[in-house]
Amino acid sequence: MKNYLYSIILITVFLMIWEAGARFVHASFILPAPTEIAIKLWELKAELLLYHLPVTLAVIAIGLGISLVLGVILAISMNISETLEKAIYPILITSQTIPIIALAPIFVLWFGYSIWSKVIVTIIITFFPITVSTFDGFRSTSKELKELFQTLGASKRQLFFKLEVPSALPSFFSGLKVAVPMSVIGAAIGEWLGAQAGLGYFSRRMMTQFNGAGVFAPIVVLSLIGILLFITVVLLEKYILKWRRS
Amino acid sequence: MREQNQKLALQFKNVDFHYKNDAGGIPILKNMNLSVADGEFVSIIGASGSGKSTIFRLIVGLEEQTGGSIYLNEKRVTDRSGKVGYMPQQDLLMPWRTVQQNAALPLELHKESRLGRRAVPDLLEAFGLKGYEDKYPHELSGGMRQRVSFLRATLSGSNVLLLDEPFSALDAMTRLFMQEWLLEQWEEQQSTILFITHDISEALFLSDRIFVITDTPFTTLKEIEVPLERPRRQQDSDKKEVMKLKNNLLEQFRMRV
């Protein structure tokens, strides 16, 4: 907790300035005060948490899940075959230059207001860090250790599971830590552009009603999801990579 | 002194080798012959880049000779991976595995009989690693890490152990103790050890015979018998005949540097 002391102080100061500024401007549809947002959050708690949150969580879970599988499979394929690496890597980079926000309406056209248009946006944003960092992890496998395994007569399969996978794990987790907060952003963008429920959708609806505090309240929830997911990954990482402790 | 029978643990017969490159390759071994008796302790010394490690890479099967044949325990072996115990220059322990898991890697890869696994606790104790079984490599000293690495080579189950400058990264003091310790283990386990080093004193203290590499490509290796009884202590290295050998060797290398 001591580690976070300075950030807590900084945030408190920031919120106080915001509060003072908001009261001075006195236009809550543009700049709602933090206290107004908190009150709004409390008023809307049932609607936000019981109705919109599960929808957004489903998008995040499905999107991240598919990204994980896709990213790891891509990384393994590129690690196995240089031809595949040459074929896939440039496409991977190109996929990140696509302006997702501009494309998202097309996904809505394709998939309607179903969950898939949002899941696709989430996947496109999150699979990249997972793929690239997992691939880098495989490549970081020590050449000397590989040779040692060879001298011990290890099979390809043993080399993969006993050496390459453990070598890639730290990088994989680094990638996952980048991808997890992005999945929240992806889900929110997806919902912003076309949905009938979800935290992103709710925020946008409040925007059309000039309800400043109502725009911010679901964003606070989204941000909390991001933080919680991130902490989960860090804990999982600490548990699995327990040899790195101390 | 330990008894050596006439059985050969390792033999090179007319071995040729060159690394493949565009120019067709520079020859390193030419028609080379070498034999090591079962139970012998042999060192190979030579300047860096002289092809010492190439001999090891051939024996462990990381490289394939371009001509001639290599015999292990008097059998001609073409696929040598998994047949000899190899202890590399850096300890090469996996940071995510504990001492015990690192040491037992060869057993794990070969699905060895349960007997092999059962030997692990005793060996851990014999190697001075009792109480450290569940520690990770980064929690150990350099000397301990090398002992784990040597234990791993031992658990490969082979009677031939190749040690590639295993103590070069250790501080001078630890190094002396590790040398004595290595001799004890060698005598206990009746193994055959091939030891690469660029340290003349180390080679003299440890070995029965020393092979000296001076020229590349080489056909035969210059051979030196070490006039010391066993068991040995570090002090023995100060004997007159040993000092003389050492100065001779130093003189030889001086010309090449």
The whole-chain average pLDDT of chain A stands at: 92
DSSP state of A233: H
Which of A147, A153, A246 minimises the CB distance to B82? A153
CA angle B131, B123, B83 (to 5 degrees): 135
User: Which strands make up the sheet holding B192-197, listed edge to edge?
Assistant: B85-87, B160-164, B192-197, B41-46, B209-213, B222-225
Instruction: Give dist(CA B212, CA B12) in Å, integer.
Output: 16
Contacts of B52 (CB under 8 A, 6+ apart): B44, B45, B46, B196, B213
Task: Write the pLDDT tens digit of every residue in B156-187.
Answer: 888 899 999 888 888 888 888 889 989 988 98
Specify whether the CB–CB gap between B32 and B15 falls below 8 A. yes
Which of B92, B98, B139 minimises the CB distance to A148? B92
Distance of CA A150 to the CA centre of its chain: 39
Q: Which chain B residue shows the shortest CA-CA distance from A166?
A: B96
Task: Write the pLDDT tens digit of every residue in B179-237.
Answer: 998 998 898 888 999 999 988 889 999 999 999 887 777 777 888 888 888 888 888 88
Whether residues A151 and B94 touch (CB distance < 8 A) is answered with no
List CB contacts (< 8 A) between B97 and chain A: 243
Q: Which residue has the tokens 């609607």?
A: A47
Whether the predicted pLDDT of B137 surpasses 60 = yes
Interchain contact B153–A (C-beta under 8 A): no
List CB contacts (< 8 A) between A166 and chain B: 94, 96
Which of B88, B98, B138 minimises the CB distance to A148? B88
Whether residues B81 and A148 touch (CB distance < 8 A) is answered with no
Q: Which chain B residue shows the shortest CA-CA distance from A163?
A: B94
The phi and psi torsions of A192 (rounded to 5 degrees) equal -60, -35
Q: Which long-range contacts (CB under 8 A, 24 or more apart) does B124-132 make?
A: B124/B99, B124/B100, B124/B151, B126/B185, B126/B188, B127/B151, B127/B185, B128/B181, B129/B99, B129/B103, B132/B99
**What pLDDT score does B83 carry?**
85
Tell me which residue of A73, A58, A47, A53 sits closest to A122, measured CA to CA: A58
Give me the average pLDDT of each 10-residue run along chain A (246 residues).
87 95 89 93 93 95 97 95 93 86 84 89 93 95 93 92 96 96 93 88 92 92 95 95 80
Specify whether the CB–CB gap between B93 and B102 falls below 8 A. yes
Interchain contact B61–A (C-beta under 8 A): yes
3-state secondary structure B110-176: HCCCHHHHHHHHHHHHHCCCCCCCCCCHHHCCHHHHHHHHHHHHHCCCCCEEEEECCCCCCCHHHHH
Give the mean model confidence (pLDDT) for residues B135-162. 91
Instruction: Give dist(CA B60, CA B82) in Å, integer.
Output: 8
CATH class of A36-245: mainly alpha
Instruction: Give dist(CA A136, CA A130) in Å, integer.
Output: 10
Instruction: Give dist(CA A157, CA A80) in Å, integer.
Output: 12
ipTM for the predicted complex = 0.86
Instruction: Give dist(CA A193, CA A113) in Å, integer.
Output: 10
Whether the predicted pLDDT of B1 surpasses 50 = no
Distance, in angstroms, between A211 CA and closest chain B CA? 53
Q: Which chain B residue shows the shortest CA-CA distance from A165?
A: B96
List CB contacts (< 8 A) between A243 and chain B: 95-98, 136, 138
CA angle A165, A169, A172 (to 5 degrees): 120
Whether residues A153 and B81 touch (CB distance < 8 A) is answered with yes
Whether the predicted pLDDT of B24 surpasses 70 = no
Whether the predicted pLDDT of B256 surpasses 70 = no
Distance, in angstroms, between A151 CA and closest chain B CA? 5
- From the CB of residue B80, how many other CB atoms can be counted at a distance below 10 Å? 17
Residues of chain A contacting B, Cβ within 8 Å: 142, 144-145, 147-155, 158, 162-163, 166, 169, 241, 243-244, 246
B231 upstream amide cis, omega within 30 of 0: yes
Distance, in angstroms, between A89 CA and closest chain B CA? 29
**What pLDDT score does B75 carry?**
87
Which of A145, A152, A246 minimises the CB distance to B94? A145
The whole-chain average pLDDT of chain B stands at: 85
- Burial label for B166, CB within 10 Å (0-12, 13-18, 19+), is buried
**What pLDDT score does A174 carry?**
96
Interchain contact B96–A (C-beta under 8 A): yes
Whether residues A152 and B95 touch (CB distance < 8 A) is answered with no
List CB contacts (< 8 A) between A163 and chain B: 94
